[in-house]
Amino acid sequence: MLLAIDTSAGTSVAVVDRDGGVLAERSQSDTMRHAEVIGDLIQAVLRESGVAVSSLSGVAAGMGPGPFTGLRVGIAAAKAFAFGARKPLVPVVSHDAVAFERYGAGHEGGLLVVTDARRRELYWTAYVGVDEAGLPIREDGPGLSRPDALPHPALHRFDAQVVSAGALGMLAEQLYANGRRFAADEPLYLRSPDVTLSNGPKRVSA
């Protein structure tokens, strides 16, 4: 069983089991309140699932792509929970979870997953389909583009408002079950944060 957390778009938290599916999931679409809601969502899904922390086998974290501030809240929460519970962290590309969910719902063929990157830009990842294990096959991306320069116009486009932590966790379970590699333990910001470092104290003149 896994606790799964994603804050690449809205905020989503779930407890999943490879055999039992999604045991509990809570999501919040507001992209400005990740830090305020994530603790309550974690408590809620653990309570609703009836799963003790000691029964979890790990913590799945959505690594983006996502805006700097929101994405790092989820990753930090996942790492802190994993450290405190002495469980391994399982990094997963957030767009892969969206594709996994869409293909699982019956979509066939190419797919372009799109999420809001703010600054009038979009994050995107292109997929060609699924492999023999039902896992999405990435063709291109993740990438960052202006809306008018979005690539792969021939692909079916899906705009995700929230990345389902339930789908993220189930994808992680399937990756493990099929001996596939997880994502790198590095956030996919795809650009520099909005905040820039100071060049030092300003000189004061009399």
Whole-number average pLDDT of the chain: 93
d(CA 1, CA 51): 9
31 pLDDT band, cuts 50/70/90, is confident
| C-alpha 161, offset from chain centre | 12
| pLDDT band (50, 70, 90) for residue 36 | confident
**Cα gap 136→101, rounded to integer Å:** 9
Q: What is the pLDDT of residues 77-132, one digit of tens each?
A: 999 999 999 999 999 999 999 999 999 999 999 999 999 999 999 999 999 999 99
Range 2-177: architecture per CATH: 2-Layer Sandwich (3.30)
Helices 68-85 and 34-49 pack at an angle, to 10 degrees, of: 40
pLDDT at position 205 over 60: no
Strand partners, 118: 121
Residue 33 has pLDDT above 90, yes or no: no
Q: What is the pLDDT of residue 34?
A: 79
Tens digit of pLDDT for each residue in 186-204? 999 998 665 444 455 555 5
57/71 Cα distance (integer angstroms)? 23
pTM: 0.91
Report the pLDDT value the prediction gives residue 203, as an integer from 0 to 100.
56
pLDDT digits (tens, 9 = 90+) for 163-193: 999 999 999 999 999 999 999 999 999 986 6
Mean pLDDT across 126-139: 98
Check residues 195 and 50 and name the one with the higher pLDDT.
50
25 Cβ contact list (under 8 Å, min separation 6):
12, 13, 14, 15, 45, 164, 165, 166
Domain ranges for the chain: 2-177
Strand residue runs (E) in 63-120:
89-92, 111-118
- Half-sphere exposure (CA, 13 Å, Cβ side) for 118? 18
Cα separations (Å) of 199 from 21, 96, 115, 196?
A: 50, 38, 33, 9
The letter for the amino acid at 49 is: S
In the chain, what's the furthest Cα-to-Cα distance?
Answer: 73
CA–CA–CA angle 106, 138, 19 (5° rounding): 50
